[in-house]
Amino acid sequence: MMASAAEAIADIEDGASVGIAGFGLSHRYPSTLISALAEKGTRGLTVYCNGLGQPGFPTGHVLAENHQIAHLVTCFSARPGVVSEAEKQIDAGEMTLEMVPQGTLVERMRAGGAGLAAIYTPTGFGSEIAEGKDIRYFDGRPYVLERAITTDFALIRAQQADHFGNVVFRGGSQNFNVSFAKAARVTIVEAEEIVETGAIAPEDVDLPGVFVTRVVPITVRMDIRNLPKRANRPPSSAKEYLGKPALTREQIGRRAAALLPDNSVVNLGAGLPVQVANWVRDRPVVLHAENGLLNYGGFATDEELDPDLHDAGGMFVTTRDGTSFFDSVTSFEIARGGRLYAVILGTYQVGANGDLANWSAPGMIGGGIGGAMDLAAGAQHVFTTLEHCDSRGRPKLVERCEFPLTMPNCVDAIITDLALLRRPSRGGRDPGRFTLEEIAAGFTVDEVLSMTGMSVDVADPVGVMQEAWL
């Protein structure tokens, strides 16, 4: 144990590589250690992270605001609605950027910590992430070569640690901490509670002390209840087309939930897909979140809010009987290992051939890959939930995607605020065109087709979306 964070990070010198754990905009960043590193002023850092977090708060963005980062390796370099200091520096050429899928990042860290040189992964094939990398085929399927990662330092946050370095995480807050710790030469842990060696039962240790170099007490915390939130249209409000209301965001989630069979394991992506959680209710549908939750429940009320219980979209959630927690490596083993019946993702565009484009749009510096590439590569089915047209009235369902691809030819079902379209599952052959199966009440088939930018078949008869969940 060390007396202060300043002492613990004193040997992080200019040019060092640092893995910084934490999830989303605000969840369990090592704010004490980040603040100390910002105060020290070390420059030229290579930073590995899921994302830099919420600007203006003690997250990784503090280091960007201090111009301490030279190279950023991340899953989220940009989010809609605001241009961060990091984006400005990347755009100006002051900071270089490498975008990496979330599951690939933790697997590269896991490999580095395990003494491996590289891995082959199905994630990223068919996207610009795979450009220039070695592609090999195993059993007829393409895999991308990714180099393992090791770092000089890792900064992580824990609920409890002992003087031997054994660490306990709480709830869904293991995420990146474990793989980042194992990949680092020096792992520094800030802990909410530091106890004597032996006070933590052996079976409760989430990270053994052999992977931990230093432990310090937490002195800097984030008030997650009062963080600013990006302005979204309320889930209960409906967008209008041709002067008529379409489905609300809640209703899109409700229709998507009705597509899920009992006993299926389903991942919900960030954004609109999280609405599905409230419509699963007491059905035997198991929800999976890539930050490390399985079989969680609907949204938490203010009274139920627990900072260590959140989904991958940052929504605070409840537990159900049988809920389990784990780190992100295990989470992506579930995803890539074929154990997901479906992943439900938000997207910018879907192509007529099932191409998915959901991580970057014009004007973004990099973008937000998150876990989408891993999830699309591993799930048995890919569903997308989105609004039928963008804010300028342009179709999001297009003949050919103009935005960078997440994965080609992967989408099986599209649920918009105007329509449900499906095509036969991939199954090793060309599944053909999407079929318009349902439309929102109050609209005609011709009206929906007029706002659809891809060629589709039309079912006979076409159903009504609102009637499908009655």
By annotation, the residues acting in catalysis are 290
User: Which residue is listed with tokens 């290579």?
Assistant: 46
Beta bridge partners of 407: 356
CA 58 to each of CA 46, 61, 177: distance values in angstroms, whole numbers, following the listed order: 18, 7, 17
The two three-digit tokens of residue 135, written as one number: 């592609």
Q: Residues 6 or more apart from 36 whose CB is under 8 A from it?
A: 4, 5, 6, 8, 9
Check if the beta carbon of residue 278 is closer than 8 Å to that of residue 250: yes
- The residue behind tokens 């680092």 is 184
Q: Which helix (H) or strand (E) holds 214?
A: strand 214-217
The H or E element spanning position 279 is: helix 277-280
Contact criterion met (CB below 8 Å) for 348 and 361: yes
DSSP lists the bridge partners of residue 118 as 147
Q: Which amino acid, one-letter code, is at 337?
A: G
- C-alpha count within 13 angstroms, C-beta hemisphere, residue 233: 12
Q: Copy the structure tokens of residue 278.
A: 């409230």
Helices (H) and strands (E) in the chain, counts: 11, 26
Q: What b/e readout covers 302-327, taking b as 16+ CB neighbours within 10 angstroms? A: eeeeebebbbbbbbbbbbeeebebbb
Whole-angstrom distance, CA of residue 246 vs CA of residue 261: 25
d(CA 168, CA 177): 11
Q: Are 255 and 417 in contact (CB under 8 A)?
A: no
Per DSSP, 244 falls in state: E
Question: To 10 degrees, what angle do helices 328-336 and 102-113 make?
Answer: 120
Token pair of 31, please? 């704010």
In this structure, is the dihedral angle defined by the CA atoms of residues 181, 184, 186 and 188, taken in order, positive or negative?
Answer: negative
CA angle 383, 384, 387 (to 5 degrees): 150
Distances (CA, A) of 267 to 51, 346, 374, 378: 20, 12, 11, 11
